[in-house]
């Protein structure tokens, strides 16, 4: 029985007292034409795909075929993106892109709006490009260093766990009992699993890392992919408010500012809207209103940042000598 319990643990992710997995193994069952559903007790039940003959047979005998509760579907934006590109971004990648785009669309926008009070598009162009390049590099490097620190932290935790298993097996077994107890395993079941794990230090370490500490090994490419995604997101987002200043005359800075504000209001709203839709787990009636609120929130955040920047620059200009263009 201990072998069966361990197999379920390492194959599907979460234990229960009865040895029933709580995480649906959809990936494996899909290949066999089967799916997973949640039963009345909250556990996942495996069902086979029924043909029309099966349904008729069960109905004729007074039985009702099992109902299929479709798992929550992902947002339409995710499905469309996957269908068009064939590429499925990971949640981490989406998070990195959002961080870069959000900072890129608020900080440079606030800076260019503040510099517009000086009355010269040339100043805005030079200051905006300088900030854009510096911000892209700093954001990318910061993201890469953060991901590298996360990877180093996992390696340190792995080393500490291996040391614990090799030098203090009794403490490791106590951790196994502590991990399994909330899932309803009685003492006999916990002892069986502990004895099985004790036979292999690798399995013991894997169990403690995955279930007790709930750590997941980061991808080896995570540092550079994180830095690249955040940096490019910042560059794309920061370039949008700068474009109008390259399309007008040297002294038409107010016209460029108004165009930039209009473009950024639309862009910030669309960014907040689609960010909410992209991160939504499923389509629902309340999803549209939630996405609209996300867009309005991004507009308010970007507008407040720009207003503060304009006020600070204008206040400094009024307090000091005039700036020569």
5-19, 33-47, 81-95: which is most confident:
81-95
The C-alpha atoms of residue 17 and residue 68 are separated, in whole angstroms, by 25
Helix (H, G, I), strand (E, B) or coil at 131: helix
| Residue 35 main-chain phi, psi, to 5 deg | -140, 175
Q: How many CB atoms lie within 10 A of CB 60?
A: 8
The 8-class DSSP code of residue 35 comes to: E
Per-residue pLDDT at 175 exceeds 80: yes
Rounded alpha-carbon distances, angstroms, from residue 183 to 101, 175, 179: 41, 14, 8
- Residues 272, 273, 276, 282, Cα dihedral to 10°: -170
Residue 267 — very low, low, confident or very high, per pLDDT cuts 50/70/90? confident
pLDDT given at position 71: 45
Give percent of the chain with pLDDT exceeding 90.
27
Give pLDDT tens digits for 110-139.
888 888 878 888 999 999 999 999 999 999
Compute the half-sphere exposure of residue 248: CA atoms within 13 Å on the CB side of its CA.
22
Give pLDDT tens digits for 67-120.
444 444 555 556 665 676 666 667 788 788 888 888 888 888 888 888 887 888
Does this model's pTM top 0.75? My answer is no
Per-residue pLDDT at 282 exceeds 80: no
CB of 6 closer than 8 Å to CB of 176: no
pLDDT given at position 158: 92
Per-residue pLDDT at 169 exceeds 60: yes
Average pLDDT estimate for 149-169: 91
Helix (H, G, I), strand (E, B) or coil at 48: strand
Average pLDDT estimate for 163-170: 90
pLDDT given at position 74: 54
Rounded alpha-carbon distances, angstroms, from residue 83 to 58, 78, 131: 37, 9, 36
Distance, first Cα to last Cα, the chain: 82
The helix (run of H) or strand (run of E) holding residue 36 is: strand 34-38
Per-residue pLDDT at 291 exceeds 60: yes
The C-alpha atoms of residue 228 and residue 143 are separated, in whole angstroms, by 8
The C-alpha atoms of residue 71 and residue 320 are separated, in whole angstroms, by 63
CB of 14 closer than 8 Å to CB of 23: yes
The 8-class DSSP code of residue 33 comes to: T
């Amino acid at each position: 029985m201990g072998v069966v319990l361990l197999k379920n643990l390492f194959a599907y992710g979460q234990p229960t007292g009865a040895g029933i997995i709580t995480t649906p193994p959809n990936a494996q069952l899909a290949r066999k034409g089967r799916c997973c559903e949640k039963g009345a007790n909250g556990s996942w039940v495996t069902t086979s795909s029924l043909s029309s003959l099966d349904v008729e047979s069960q109905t004729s005998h007074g039985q009702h075929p099992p109902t299929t509760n479709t798992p929550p579907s992902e947002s339409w934006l995710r499905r469309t993106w996957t269908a068009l590109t064939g590429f499925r971004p990971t949640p981490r990648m989406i998070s990195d892109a959002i961080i870069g785009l959000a900072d890129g669309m608020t900080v440079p926008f606030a800076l260019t709006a503040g510099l517009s009070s000086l009355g010269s598009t040339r100043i805005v162009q030079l200051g905006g490009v300088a900030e854009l390049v510096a911000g892209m590099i700093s954001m990318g490097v910061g993201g890469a260093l953060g991901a590298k620190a996360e990877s180093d932290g996992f390696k340190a935790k792995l080393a500490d766990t291996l040391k614990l298993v090799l030098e203090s097996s009794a403490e490791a077994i106590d951790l196994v009992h502590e991990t399994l107890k909330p899932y309803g395993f009685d003492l006999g079941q916990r002892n069986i699993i502990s004895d099985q794990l004790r036979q292999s230090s690798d399995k013991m370490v894997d169990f403690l890392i995955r279930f007790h500490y709930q750590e997941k090994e980061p991808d080896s490419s995570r540092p550079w992919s994180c830095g690249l995604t955040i940096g490019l997101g910042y560059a794309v987002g920061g370039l949008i408010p700068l474009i109008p200043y390259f399309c007008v005359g040297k002294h038409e800075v107010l016209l460029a500012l108004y165009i930039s504000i209009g473009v950024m209001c639309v862009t910030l709203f669309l960014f907040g809207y689609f960010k909410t839709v992209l991160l939504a787990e499923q389509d629902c009636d309340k999803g549209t209103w939630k996405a609209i609120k996300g867009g309005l929130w991004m507009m308010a955040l970007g507008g407040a940042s720009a207003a503060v920047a304009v006020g600070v620059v204008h206040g400094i200009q009024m307090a000091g000598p005039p700036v020569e263009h």
